[in-house]
Amino acid sequence: MLYKYRNWLYNTNFSRAISKLVILKISPNLITFFGLVFGVIAAYLIYKHYLLLAIIPLVLSGLCDLCDGWVARLSNKETKFGVIFDVTLDKYVEGFVGLGFSFVTPGFLVPGYIWVIIAVFGSIIISLVSNVGAALSQEKPFKLASRFDRGVIIVLGLILANFLGDIYLTYTAVFVAAITHLTVVSLVISYYKILKNKK
């Protein structure tokens, strides 16, 4: 949903920072790795209940996720391994952040960690369906909730939980769980229609 704002971000002064990374010959895979490092730090801070502080490395991890692809394209360093490396470390980041959440999320109908597991599980399936679907159809349909969207929701959830109580961590997990699986369903339907028309 918020994907267009990624392009807006690139067209701001942020693009100058990207250009400097290219000039410095920073490896896209190194940026991807730092995204994992920041993600692990964010997960630890969430586990220790430093919710506002956790936002800083979480945002930095997200920026690394944005930058690695842009740097790869601008420096002509796009590789198939880079794509695999990026997707793999992205899932590790989401897993670690989910693990951090699972320790501090209060229960709502079921234990809080259950909602977190459902959310992370949905995120993994989104990547699976997206990658397999794109490989089979050579198309990328509209995605209801991208990783960028989910990152924004998590940041907002951390802010609300810090000021209004931990139950907002649960609400965040429930919302992310719901929207990830709705995204999976919408992607499956979209790819079904696309592949059916290609016959």
Could you tell me the CATH number of the domain that includes residue 159? Answer: 1.20.120.1760
Mean pLDDT, residues 98-102 taken together: 93
Ranges 11-15, 87-91, 127-131, 183-187: which has the least confidence? 11-15
Highest mean pLDDT among 5-9, 17-21, 66-70, 179-183: 179-183
Tokens encoding 35: 């995204």
pLDDT score recorded for residue 82: 80
Contacts from 80-84 at CB under 8 Å and sequence distance 24+? Answer: 82/28, 82/29, 82/32
Residues 6+ apart with CB under 8 A from 87: 127, 131
CA distances from 135 to 86, 131, 132, 147 (A): 17, 6, 5, 19
CB 34 within 8 A of CB 85: no
- Amino acid identity for residue 171 in this structure: Y
Among 3, 8, 10, which Cα is nearest to 71's?
A: 10
- 62: domain range? 3-197
pLDDT bin (cut points 50, 70, 90) of residue 18 is low
- How many domains does the chain contain in total? 1
